[in-house]
Amino acid sequence: MKSAVANQVEQTRQRAESAKAQTVQRIQRLALELRHVSETLQPQDEFAARLTERASGSIEKVAGYVNSADVRQLRGDAERLARARPAMFFGGAFLFGLAMGRFFKSSATENGGAPRVRAQGTSPSLGEWRIGDAELDRPARKGAT
């Protein structure tokens, strides 16, 4: 009986460590993408480029923390943060979810994933336009010639 319980505990620990490693990779990819955005923005908007670079650095620190901490420590720290500063915790979780969703959406399109089909008569949201879209359907941009 004890060996079966020990087996379950070990399998759960291994799944948690695997999920943690995947999370670290995702966070690191997000930081890398932000760094690329910063480099792209640099010639056009230095202020936005600095903000994006700073965000990338902060996200890299989060990845380092998640990578170095064990699963129990991560859970305990998240619980303490949620109790001490619930607005910050849930706001951060919301923003992180938005950023990850946007990142995975763009990754799927870049990696050959099929773009989502929109209902007839609806317009795409900001950032959904692709090079192949018709010029007449593209929204006008301020300052465009």
Tell me, yes or no, whether 6 lies in a domain: no
Chain mean pLDDT for the chain: 76
Tell me, yes or no, whether 27 lies in a domain: yes
Tell me, yes or no, whether 130 lies in a domain: no
Tell me, yes or no, whether 144 lies in a domain: no
Tell me, yes or no, whether 117 lies in a domain: no
Q: pLDDT tens-digit profile of 108-121?
A: 665 555 545 444 44
Average pLDDT of span 82-106: 82
Q: pLDDT tens-digit profile of 24-57?
A: 998 899 899 889 988 988 899 899 889 989 989 9
Count how many domains the chain has. 1
Domain that holds residue 45: 21-112
- Pick 68 or 145 by higher pLDDT: 68
Tell me, yes or no, whether 4 lies in a domain: no
Is 90 exceeded by the pLDDT of residue 84? yes
Tell me, yes or no, whether 134 lies in a domain: no
Tell me, yes or no, whether 145 lies in a domain: no
Cα distance between residue 87 and residue 119, in whole Å: 36
Average pLDDT of span 4-20: 86
